[in-house]
Amino acid sequence: MKTHRVDELIELLHPEWRKDTDLNLVEFLLKLAAEAKYDGKLEELTDDVLIYHLKMRNSGKDDMIPGLAKDCEDDFKTAILRARGIIK
């Protein structure tokens, strides 16, 4: 895992874990995995699952996934023109 990913994960994890101070780290990771509907082995849980789950954990059901919102266009014509490189 790259250093910036570790920093991002710790930055997202810290405030959420402080809300569940009665849990140790492994218990909290298991809780996050269950919330994310991850059913594999804990050692196979990726940092991407944790990062995106922590980013979306307190957001509304209809909120857009971070990273996708920047590419979202309000109208189809603009999206097509951007995709074809006609406008930037």
Q: Kind and range of the H or E element at 58?
A: none
* Residue 34 falls inside a structural domain: yes
- pLDDT band (50, 70, 90) for residue 13: very high
Could you tell me which residue, 27 or 63, shows the higher pLDDT? 27
pLDDT for residue 15 is more than 80? yes
Which domain does 30 fall in, by range? 3-61
Q: What CATH number is given to the structural domain containing 37?
A: 1.10.1580.20
Please write the tens of the pLDDT for every residue from 30-81.
999 999 999 999 999 999 899 989 988 877 777 777 666 667 777 888 888 8
- Say how many domains are in the chain: 1
Structure tokens at 4: 């910036």
Q: Are 45 and 29 in contact (CB under 8 A)?
A: yes
* Residue 73 falls inside a structural domain: no
Q: If you search the block for the tokens 């074809």, which residue do you land on? A: 84
pLDDT for residue 1 is more than 70? no
Q: Are 33 and 45 in contact (CB under 8 A)?
A: yes
* Residue 47 falls inside a structural domain: yes
* Residue 27 falls inside a structural domain: yes
